[in-house]
Amino acid sequence: MSPDGRLAVCPGSYDPVTNGHLDIIGRTAKVFERVLVGVVGNAPRKSDHLFSAEERLEFIREATASLENVEVKIFRTLLVDFAREEGATAIVKGLRAISDFEYEFEMNQLNRKLAPELESVYVIASPSYSFLSSTGVKEMAMFGGDVGDLVPSAVAKALSERATS
Ligand code: PNS
Indicate which residue's Cα is closest to atom 21 of ligand 1.
Answer: 78
Atom of ligand 1 nearest to the CA of 45: 22
Centre of ligand 1 to C-alpha 107, Å, is 8
Centre of ligand 1 to C-alpha 12, Å, is 6
d(CA 59, CA 11): 15
d(CA 67, CA 154): 17
Over residues 114-155, the pLDDT tens digits come to 999 999 999 999 999 999 999 999 999 999 999 999 999 999
Enumerate the H helices of the chain as residue ranges.
19-31, 53-63, 79-86, 98-114, 134-142, 153-164
* pLDDT at residue 163 is higher than 90: no
The gap from C-alpha 164 to its chain's centroid, in whole angstroms, comes to 26
pLDDT score, position 2 = 67
Ligand 1 neighbourhood includes 115 CB (under 6 angstroms):
no
Atom of ligand 1 nearest to the CA of 80: 18
**Average pLDDT over all residues of the chain:** 94
Domains plus CATH for the chain? Answer: 4-127 (3.40.50.620)
Atom of ligand 1 nearest to the CA of 81: 18
pLDDT score, position 48 = 81
- The sign of the dihedral angle between the CA atoms of 21, 27, 31, 35 is positive
Closest CA to 52 of 151, 160, 130, 158: 158
Ligand 1 neighbourhood includes 63 CB (under 6 angstroms):
no
Indicate which residue's Cα is closest to atom 19 of ligand 1.
Answer: 78
Whether the bond into 16 is cis, omega within 30 of 0: yes
pLDDT score, position 58 = 98
Over residues 68-112, the pLDDT tens digits come to 999 999 999 999 999 999 999 999 999 998 889 999 999 999 999
Pairing label, strands 88-95, 34-40: unpaired
- The sign of the dihedral angle between the CA atoms of 108, 74, 67, 88 is positive
Q: Please give the backbone phi and psi of residue 24, each rounded to the nearest 5 degrees, phi first.
A: -65, -45
Atom of ligand 1 nearest to the CA of 46: 4
The gap from C-alpha 107 to its chain's centroid, in whole angstroms, comes to 15
Which amino acid type is present at position 81? D
Cβ pair 150, 19 in contact under 8 A: yes
| Half-sphere exposure at residue 2, Cβ-oriented, CA atoms within 13 angstroms | 0
